[in-house]
Structure 1
Amino acid sequence: MNMQFGRLALTSGCLIFALAAAANAGDAPPAPKGLEKIETIVVLYAENRSFDNLYSRFPGANGLLDFKPSEAPQLDRDGAPLPELPPIWGGLTPRGVEPAVDQERTAHLPNAPFAIDDPKGFNTPLSVPTTDLVHRFYQNQMQINGGKNDKFVAYGDSGALVMGHYEGPNLPLWPIAQRYVLADNFFMGAFGGSFLNHFFLACACAPRYPGADKSPAKGLISVVDPDGVSLTLDPNAPKSALERIPKFVRDGALTPDFYAVNTMQPPYQPSGVKPAPGGDPAYADPDKPSTLPPQTELTIGDLLSAKGVSWAWYAGAWQVALDGAKVEPNPKFQFHHQPFNYFASIAPGTAAREEHLRDGGLGGDKFIAAIDTGTLPQVTFYKPQGDLNEHPGYSDVMAGDEHLANLVAHLEKSPQWAHMVVVITYDENGGFWDHAAPPKGDRWGPGTRIPAFIVSPFAKKGFIDHTLYDTSSVLRLITERFGLPTLPGLRRRAGAIAAGGHQLGDLTGALDLATP
Structure 2
Amino acid sequence: MRRLALACCGALISSAAAAAGASSALSTTPIEHVIVLVGENRTFDNLYGVYQPRKGQTVSNLLSKKIVNKDGTPGPRFADAAQKLGLSAGAYTPTPEFNGVYGILPQPWAGGAFGQRQDVPDARFPSNLPNGPFQITHHVSYGAHTGDPTHRFFQMWQQVDGGKNDYFVWVADQTGPGPSNPYPTPMTPGRTLQGGVAMGFYNMSTGDAPLFKRLADQYAIADNYHQPIMGGTTANYFALATADVGYYTENGQAAVPPAKLIENPDAQPGTNNWYTEDGYRGGTYVNCADPEQPGVAGIRALLAGLPYRAFNDGNCAPGHYYMVNNLDPAYAPSGEPLPLGPDKFLLPPQSMPHIGDAMTAGGVSWKWYSGGRNDGKKLDKEYCGMCDTPTFFSSTMNGPDKDKLVDLMQFYVDVKDAASFPSVAVIAPYDSISGHPGYAMETSFDELVAGVMERVKANPALWKSTAILVTFDEGGGYYDSGYVQAIDFFGDGTRIPLIAISPWAKKGAVDHTYYDHASIAKFIERNWSLPPISPRSRDNLPNPVHGKADPYVPVNRPAIGDLMNLFDFSNARR
Q: TM-score, normalised by structure 2?
A: 0.73
- Residue 384 of structure 2 is aligned to residue 334 of structure 1: yes
Is the Cα–Cα contact under 8 Å of residues 40 and 420 in structure 1 kept in the other structure? Answer: yes
Aligned partner (choices 29, 34, 38) of residue 41 of structure 1: 34
The number of equivalent residue pairs is 449
In structure 1, list runs of 5 or more residues that go unmatched.
Answer: 1-28, 224-230, 240-245, 272-280
Q: Which residue of 2 aligns with 1:426?
A: 472
Letter in 2 for 1:232: D
- Residue 308 of structure 2 is aligned to residue 264 of structure 1: no
Mapped partners of 1:335, 1:503: distance in 2: 31
Q: Which residue of 2 aligns with 1:170?
A: 208
Is the Cα–Cα contact under 8 Å of residues 37 and 468 in structure 2 kept in the other structure? Answer: yes
Letter in 1 for 2:79: S
Q: Which residue of 2 aligns with 1:373?
A: 417
Aligned partner (choices 144, 147, 162) of residue 128 of structure 1: 144
Mapped partners of 2:355, 2:486: distance in 1: 24
Mapped partners of 2:542, 2:322: distance in 1: 21
1:159 counterpart SS class:
coil
Provide closer, same or farther for how the CA distance between residues 314 and 373 of structure 1 changes in structure 2, counting only shifts above 3 A: same
- Sequence identity (%): 30
1:319 counterpart SS class:
helix
Q: Which residue of 1 aligns with 2:563?
A: 507
- Greater alpha carbon shift after TM alignment, 196-205 vs 261-270: 261-270
Indicate the RMSD between aligned Cα atoms, in angstroms. Answer: 2.6
- Greater alpha carbon shift after TM alignment, 155-164 vs 80-89: 80-89
Letter in 2 for 1:263: N
- Residue 314 of structure 2 is aligned to residue 305 of structure 1: no
Provide closer, same or farther for how the CA distance between residues 247 and 89 of structure 1 changes in structure 2, counting only shifts above 3 A: farther
Is the Cα–Cα contact under 8 Å of residues 91 and 103 in structure 1 kept in the other structure? Answer: no
2:426 counterpart SS class:
strand
Q: CA deviation at 1:394?
A: 1.0
Q: Which residue of 1 aligns with 2:260?
A: 219
- Residue 513 of structure 2 is aligned to residue 467 of structure 1: yes
Provide closer, same or farther for how the CA distance between residues 163 and 346 of structure 1 changes in structure 2, counting only shifts above 3 A: same
Mapped partners of 2:29, 2:111: distance in 1: 51
Mapped partners of 1:318, 1:92: distance in 2: 24
Counting only pairs closer than 5 Å after superposition, residues 94-243 of structure 1 correspond to structure 2 as: 94-96=114-116, 102-103=122-123, 105-118=125-138, 122=139, 124-156=140-172, 157=176, 158-168=194-204, 169-171=207-209, 172-210=211-249, 217-223=258-264, 231-237=265-271, 239=272
Is the Cα–Cα contact under 8 Å of residues 97 and 128 in structure 1 kept in the other structure? Answer: no
Q: Which residue of 2 aligns with 1:247?
A: 274
What CA deviation, in whole Å up to 9, does each residue of 1:307-327 have, x standing for no partner? Answer: 1111111111110223x176x
Mapped partners of 1:54, 1:146: distance in 2: 23
Aligned partner (choices 51, 61, 84) of residue 75 of structure 1: 84
Q: CA deviation at 1:93?
A: 4.6
Q: CA deviation at 1:115?
A: 0.5
1:382 counterpart SS class:
strand
Q: CA deviation at 1:138?
A: 1.1
Mapped partners of 2:102, 2:569: distance in 1: 49
Q: TM-score, normalised by structure 1?
A: 0.81
Letter in 1 for 2:530: L
- Residue 107 of structure 2 is aligned to residue 87 of structure 1: yes
Q: CA deviation at 1:499?
A: 7.8
Counting only pairs closer than 5 Å after superposition, residues 379-394 of structure 1 correspond to structure 2 as: 379-394=424-439
Q: CA deviation at 1:215?
A: 6.2
Q: CA deviation at 1:97?
A: 7.6
Q: CA deviation at 1:146?
A: 0.5
Is the Cα–Cα contact under 8 Å of residues 148 and 197 in structure 2 kept in the other structure? Answer: no
What CA deviation, in whole Å up to 9, does each residue of 1:150-203 have, x standing for no partner? Answer: 110111131211000111343222212211011111111111111000111111
Letter in 2 for 1:396: M
Q: CA deviation at 1:471?
A: 1.0
Q: Which residue of 1 aligns with 2:292?
A: none
Q: CA deviation at 1:292?
A: 1.4
The answer to which structure, 1 or 2, has the higher relative contact order (CA under 8 A, 6+ apart) is: 1
Q: CA deviation at 1:59?
A: 0.4
Letter in 1 for 2:330: P
Provide closer, same or farther for how the CA distance between residues 499 and 295 of structure 1 changes in structure 2, counting only shifts above 3 A: farther
Q: Which residue of 2 aligns with 1:20?
A: none
Q: Which residue of 2 aligns with 1:25?
A: none
Aligned partner (choices 407, 411, 433) of residue 456 of structure 2: 411
Q: Which residue of 2 aligns with 1:274?
A: none
Q: Which residue of 1 aligns with 2:492?
A: 446
Is the Cα–Cα contact under 8 Å of residues 266 and 275 in structure 2 kept in the other structure? Answer: yes
Detail structure 1 runs of 4+ shifted over 4 Å in the superposition: 90-95, 211-216, 491-500
1:154 counterpart SS class:
helix
What CA deviation, in whole Å up to 9, does each residue of 1:354-408 have, x standing for no partner? Answer: 2x211112xxxx2122112323201111111101110111101011111112211
1:36 counterpart SS class:
coil
Is the Cα–Cα contact under 8 Å of residues 216 and 287 in structure 1 kept in the other structure? Answer: no
